[in-house]
Structure 1
Amino acid sequence: MEDVRALNQYSCITNLPDNLLDLIYGKVNEQDDQQSFGLTCHSFLKVQNLGKKHLHVRNYRSVRDSRMLDKLLSGFSKLQDLSFSIILSYQESVSDTDIIKLQKCGSTLQRFSLTNCGQVTDKGFISIASYCPLLSVICLVGCSITDDGLGLMAKSCKSLVEVNLSHCNNITLCGIQYLSQNCRQLKVLKVKIVSYFQNIGVGFVSVASYCPLLSVICLVGCSITDSELEILAKSCKFLIEVNLNTCINVSDCGIQYISQNCRQLRALKIRNCKNVVGVGFRWCSSNLKILYASCCALDSTDVIEILRGGGLEYLSFSWPVNERMFIGSIDLANLKVLDLEGCKSIEDDAIVSISKGCPLLRDWDLSWCGRVGLRGWESIGLYSQNLEIIHVYRCARLCNKGLLCLGNGCKRLSVIWMGSGGTEITSNGITAFKLQRDDVNINDKFGTGIIFPSWRFTWPFKELQLAQEVEHFI
């Protein structure tokens, strides 16, 4: 009789204890089924939340006003990723008092993100260090952390492998030194400074000395020099991604040090580096897949040298400082994306060469390339059979016939970013194009241009993008 009573006790699945429901939930593989699991009853919802590993809080006001944060964190006993992001300046931000509540889930937390949470002071960051000893990734974009707070965090969280300090303008070279001396496993470091003249570059000499495993470094707006870059490149030979955007003190010598010493380099971004003409690229290996060289003083000879590696898949020469920069033959069999926006001197001969030499090209930006004429557009239609997206904003010599050439030849074409003017195309020309290719979207707005996958190779986390991985949003 007792056995029957015990059986009846669990005759309904909702009467099962939490540990058994947790086992059932663990067997649910489909994401839609996982999301629906908690809609069944309160017991299922509790188990679903207990199994959550990712939490992204975007609307913090609703959590705080209803005093739900304590209860919320208590329900996530297995939480590994936590993110608070403030997108709009008037939104209420997380404070030190709220950060203290991390003691409820901090023992399992591995990745933590605070974006634009300016109300969190060093006191809050010290709490993070105390409650989250397993942290391996931390993103503090736009936070007010100082060198002292970063130093204490580095001493407590020695397992950090990825740190994002972009727009943390209270951090100086001392903070970078604290971080590198305590976190020897560091592989990803990102720093972006609003003021381009802060003397933080020498701090990366410490990074080079203590973090030889570094694979990704972002130095946007830092005052790093060629000599400091040499030390970094010779010590961190495993670098695969380097971002030198607006590092105005870097010249071709610094680029050469990176090219010669970091033979696994896959992605390199430089912008507003007017001392870079391209000589340093001569030593780049075939491992280089992404090169973003915008607003630099590249000349014709060095452009040819850049292309000799042969392995490039994504290439940008947009808005060269030298407007007369000549782009000749580009023969890159693996090239998929090419950004020539603002290359005002490019002409039909170059377009014909690129069309023939880059058969896999699928996204091509020719905005503001006013010298490309009918022969250039004909060659794109004839040879660029894999082209899917083309940007032709302000291409002054693009006419109705040229547009039809694109439609007749590029069978995979899906989007033309044309803008609202600046070409010779008429309404009749667009009508004629639509009659033959109604599957192509002619966008009359100015597009945002090509988005390069600058950090697609990051080990092991890609970039801290919790919003793409979360299982629960608020």
Structure 2
Amino acid sequence: MRGHDWINTCLPDELILEILRRLDSKASHDACSLVCKRWLGLDRLSRSTLRIGASGSPDIFIKFLAQRFVNVKAVHIDERLSISLPVNTGKRRGRAENALTSVKLHYTDQTRPDKEDDCESFCLTDSGLTAVADGFSKLEKLSLIWCSNVTSFGIMSLGQKCIFLKSLDLQGCYVGDQGLAVVGQYCKQLEDLNLRFCESLTDSGLVELATKCGKSLKSLGVAACARITDKSLEAVGFHCKSLETLSLDSEFISDKGVLAIAQGCPLLKVLKIQCINVTDRALIVVGVSCLSLEMLALHSFQQFTDEGLRSIGKGCKKLNNLILSDCNFLGDMGLEAIATGCTELTHLEVNGCHNIGTIGLESVGKSCPRLTELALLYCQRIGNFALTEVGRGCKYLQALHLVDCSSLGDEAICSIARGCRNLKKLHIRRCYEVGSKGIIAVGENCHSLTDLSLRFCDRVWNEALIAVGQGCPLQYLNVSGCNQIGDAGIVAIARGCPELSYLDVSVLQNLGDMALAELGEGCPLLKDIILSHCHQITDIGLSHLVKNCQMLKLCHMVYCPNITSAGVATVVSSCPNIKKVLVEKWKVSPRTKRRASSVLSYLCVDL
């Protein structure tokens, strides 16, 4: 019957709650909460996660949130998030309670922007953390990111009341050993602990926690904690037999600590180390003892050689992800040992390891047929033949990243294009030997490519993009700094890639209004566009672009001399979903500033 509310009459609360739990986005939840008071109440019951940015009076906000969202199990508080006004503040700007139905909170008061007291009001304190503990009794996951006013007293209150806590992230929090000890005493289900940049912690706190709740701990991250040493890792190795993930970044941890973990935690699957005092000795024991290792990341190692990697290749047969960054003494022999021993390898990143060359990567192409992602950054000694072997042997490769690899050119890219036809992502930056021939081969062979970035590749011409536009369903394209590309190449993309959502054409001196008009006609799904340093585009081109691109959210157009205040106003007024416009401040008219100050960002601000 028309006008009758069949849904609310027939559906019980339990069924509506189940529908709300299956929604996959916050926007969908927000829309459902606006249907009626009943749905608003049920939506609040269904919410399990809260994300809170820098908020005015956060301690008070949390008390209100706890009253409304009683089934929350995860709380993320990140004080790095910017403080911004809503688009239309109107007369209700001072009523903080109106924003409480939103999961992600932002608050600002422009009346006293220069007072230090206001800065303090945006920081969570122990009182707010106590409110979290009192209000969210079912809490399982808590992230406190750079909450610098939280101390051990707040963490102690949390530990005593949130006994179901499984994950605790204290990145950048100045908490002490007492709080960590209490968490260990009461939170017997704790599995994940992140202590990055917790400068006030010492061995005492971490040892106490490992002793009391080590049986459940599965993941531990320690970085920039000057007073956490090998003693802590020895306690973790002795008590935390179920540890699966360890991330270390410290100048004060040596072989002794890593050896304790390797020998005491046989279930270790993920190991990330950036410790300048760790040597081959530790890595050899990891290869012997950690047979379940699946991911290994070694950063800035100066004290070990290929011997350590040979041990990993010999023992860690399940390794599928390897990152080698700034390891100056690793060479082809070490990478060859990994390739021949770890044939399940799917992800490989080599970054700034100047002794790794063509021979090492050839071995990967010959021995690792399951490779799906390869990143080569600042690898000057790797030549074309290495990627020829990858093209022959790694048929499942889906992503290739190349940065500053001066010896790689069109021959390498052609080999990848012909051999790896499942390629979906290709990112190339400052590889000056790569030109149109290689990219044409990609367009002709890689018909699943959706993500292409060719930054500062000045040998790529329009014909390359024409081939890509005819053969690849691109959604992401970055050709920033490719000086030879002009209207013809971008027009081909506009006509051939209707699903394009991101485009960066900055620093293209030959790009004009014709390309923008074609983008407006052919790419209605475009959300982000970067036009900075394009000297030929004008307000006319912008008007054609935004006419049909109604989903546009971001537009950068600094250093575009032919774009005026009228063009800026056109973008702001024509795009209902616009979130950010980056432009010179002097190009914004007073009227535009009044209408859309919240979405405007400026290259330069008044000092």
TM class by smaller structure: 0.7 to 0.9
Deviates more, 1:211-220 or 1:319-328: 319-328
Does residue 403 of structure 1 match 2:568? yes
Amino acid across the alignment from 1:101:
A
Which residue number corresponds to residue 219 of structure 1? Answer: 376
Letter in 2 for 1:59: F
SS of the residue 1:417 aligns to? strand
Contact kept? 1:78, 1:105, Cα under 8 Å: no
1:391 aligns with 2:556: yes
Question: Per-residue CA shift, 1:52-102, capped at 9, x if unaligned?
Answer: 433334237644x434444444433344444444599x9744222222331
Kept in 1: contact 2:358–2:385 (CA 8 A): no
Measured against aligned partners, the alpha-carbon deviations of 1:332-371 in whole angstroms (never above 9, x if no partner) come to: 2111111111112111111111122111110111111121
Instruction: Report what 2:130 is aligned to.
Output: none
Distance 1:325 1:169, change over 3 A: farther
**Of 164-173 and 92-101, the range deviating more from structure 2:** 92-101
Conserved 8 A contact 1:161-1:187: yes
Q: 1:219 and 1:41, CA in 2 relative to 1: closer, same or farther beyond 3 A?
A: closer
1:56 aligns with 2:159: no
Matching residue of 2:416? 258
Q: Which residue of 2 aligns with 1:30?
A: 73
Partner of 1:380: 545
2:328 corresponds in structure 1 to 169
**Is the 8 Å Cα contact of residues 375 and 401 (structure 2) preserved in structure 1?**
yes
Residue in 1 aligned with 2:361?
Answer: 204
Q: Conserved in 1, the CA contact under 8 Å of 2:473 and 2:499?
A: yes
Q: How many angstroms apart in 2 are the aligned matches of 1:242 and 1:338?
A: 19
Structure 2 residue matching 1:270: 3-state secondary structure: strand
Alpha-carbon contact 2:451-2:475 (below 8 Å) kept: yes
Q: Distance in 2 between matches of 1:376 and 1:142?
A: 47
Aligned match of 1:459: none
Q: Indicate the residue corresponding to 1:3 in structure 2.
A: none
Q: Which amino acid aligns with 2:409?
A: S
Query: Is residue 339–residue 365 contact of structure 1 (8 Å, CA) maintained in 2?
Result: yes
Summarize deviations over 1:247-286 as a string: whole Å, max 9, x none. Answer: 2122222111111211211111111111222222232423
Structure 2 residue corresponding to 1:108, chosen from 242, 264, 267: 267
Q: 1:202 is aligned with what amino acid?
A: I
User: In structure 1, what is the equivalent of residue 527 of structure 2?
Assistant: 362
Structure 1 163/276 Cα, relative in aligned 2: closer, same or farther at 3 Å? same
1:66 alignment partner in structure 2: 203
How many Å separate the matches in 1 of 2:436 and 2:350?
Answer: 24
Among residues 600, 603, 606, which one is paired with 1:442 in the alignment?
600
Hey, what's the Cα distance between the residues in 2 that align with 1:104 and 1:96? 12
Measured in 2, the distance between the counterparts of 1:49 and 1:112 equals 25
Question: Cα offset for 1:107?
Answer: 2.1
2:189 and 2:291 mapped to 1: Cα distance?
21
Question: Which stretch has the larger CA shift, 90-99 or 289-298?
Answer: 90-99
Q: 1:178 corresponds to which residue?
A: 337
2:13: which partner in 1? Answer: none
Task: Say if 2:160 and 2:186, in contact at 8 Å, map to a contact too.
Answer: no
What are the within-5 Å matches in structure 2 for residues 301-450 of structure 1?
301-322=463-484, 327-329=489-491, 330-331=494-495, 332-419=497-584, 425-426=586-587, 429-438=588-597, 440-445=598-603
What's the counterpart of residue 454 of structure 2?
Answer: 293
Distance 1:374 1:42 in 2: 60
- The alignment partner of 2:374 has SS state of strand
One-letter code aligned to 1:282: G
Note if contact 1:381-1:408 (Cα within 8 Å) is conserved in structure 2.
no
**Residue in 2 aligned with 1:15?**
none
Indicate if the aligned counterparts of 1:166 and 1:192 stay in contact, CA closer than 8 A: yes
1:209-255: CA deviation from partner (whole Å, max 9, x where unpaired): 22111111111122322222111111010101111222212222211
CA displacement, residues 291-341 of structure 1 (integer Å, 9 cap, x when unaligned):
111111211112211222241111110111547785341222111111111
TM, length-normalised to structure 2 = 0.62
Is the 2:200–2:225 contact (alpha carbons within 8 Å) kept by the matching residues of 1? no
C-alpha deviation, 1:182, in angstroms? 1.2
SS across alignment from 1:56: strand
Q: What is the letter of the counterpart of residue 381 of structure 1?
A: V
Q: Distance in 1 between matches of 2:357 and 2:329?
A: 11
2:348 to 170, 173, 189: 189
* AA aligned opposite 2:418: Q
Structure 1 range deviating more: 387-396 or 48-57? 48-57
Map 1:130-149 onto structure 2 (within 5 A): 130-144=288-302, 145-149=304-308
Distance in 1 (alpha carbons) for counterparts of 2:603 and 2:225: 25
Partner of 2:140, secondary structure, is helix
More displaced stretch, 116-125 vs 210-219: 116-125
CA contact (8 A) 2:463 2:489 kept: no
Aligned residue in 1 for 2:310 = 151
Give the paired residue count.
408
Instruction: Determine which structure has the larger helix proportion and give its number.
Output: 2
CA distance in 1, matches of 2:603, 2:390: 43
Structure 2 counterpart of 1:242, which letter? L
C-alpha distance in structure 1 between counterparts of 2:264 and 2:188, whole Å: 11
Alpha-carbon contact 2:251-2:276 (below 8 Å) kept: no
Cα deviation 1:358-408 (Å, max 9, x = unaligned)? 111101111111211121111122122110001112111110111111122
Larger RCO, structure (CA 8 Å, separation 6 or more): 1
CA distance 1:274–1:293, shift in 2 (3 Å): same
Against the structure 1 CA distance between its residues 182 and 61, is the aligned structure 2 distance closer, same or farther, given a 3 Å change threshold? Answer: farther
Q: Which runs of 5+ in 1 are unaligned?
A: 1-27, 448-474
Moved more, 385-394 or 44-53: 44-53
Note if contact 1:274-1:321 (Cα within 8 Å) is conserved in structure 2: no
- The CA distance in 1 between the partners of 2:218 and 2:418, in whole Å, is 39
Among all aligned residue pairs of Structure 1 and Structure 2, give the percentage whose two residues are the same amino acid.
Answer: 24
Give the TM-score normalised by the residue count of structure 1. 0.78
Which of 422, 427, 437 aligns to 1:269? It is 427
| Distance (Å, rounded) in 2 between the aligned partners of 1:255 and 1:397 | 37
- State the AA in 2 paired with 1:244: L
- My pick for the range that moved more, 67-76 or 224-233, is 67-76
CA distance in 1, matches of 2:263, 2:332: 34
Change in 2 beyond 3 A, CA 1:91/1:282? closer
CA contact (8 A) 1:80 1:108 kept: no
1:86-123 deviations in Å (ceiling 9; x for gaps): 599x9744222222331575122211212x32221112
